[in-house]
Structure 1
Amino acid sequence: MKKDIDFSPVTGVKMAIAKEETASGTEWGVYIINLNMIELKNVLITSKGSGELHGEMKKTSTLRHMIGELGEQSVAKVESIDPEVFVLNNEFWVSYYILDQIFDKKFIFTSGSFDPGFMKMIPEIGLEGVLHA
Structure 2
Amino acid sequence: MKKDIQIPEVEGVHVAVVNEYNDIYKTQDWNAYIINDKDVDLEVVLIVTSGYSDKKMTSIFRKKLDALPKKSYAKIELMQEELFALNNEFRVTFFVGNTMYEKTYLFRKNTINEKALQTIPLMTVKGVLVK
Q: Give the alignment's TM-score, normalised by structure 2.
A: 0.92
Query: 1: CA distance between counterparts of 2:2 and 2:57?
Result: 27
The gaps in structure 1 that reach 5 residues or longer are: none
Q: Could you tell me which amino acid in structure 2 is paired with residue 22 of structure 1?
A: N
RMSD across aligned positions (CA): 1.4
- Counterpart for residue 12 of structure 2: 12
The gaps in structure 2 that reach 5 residues or longer are: none
Cα offset, 1:21, TM superposition: 1.4
Q: Give the alignment's TM-score, normalised by structure 1.
A: 0.90
Counterpart check, 1:100 vs 2:98: yes
> How many residues were matched structurally?
129
SS in 2 for 1:7: coil
1:10-49 equivalence runs, <5 A: 10-23=10-23, 24-49=26-51
Contact 2:37 2:121 in 1 (8 A): no
Could you tell me the percent identity over the aligned residues? 34
Cα offset, 1:119, TM superposition: 1.4
Aligned pair partner of 2:74 in 50, 73, 76: 76
Query: 2: CA distance between counterparts of 1:49 and 1:113?
Result: 13
Runs of 4+ off more than 3 Å: 1-4
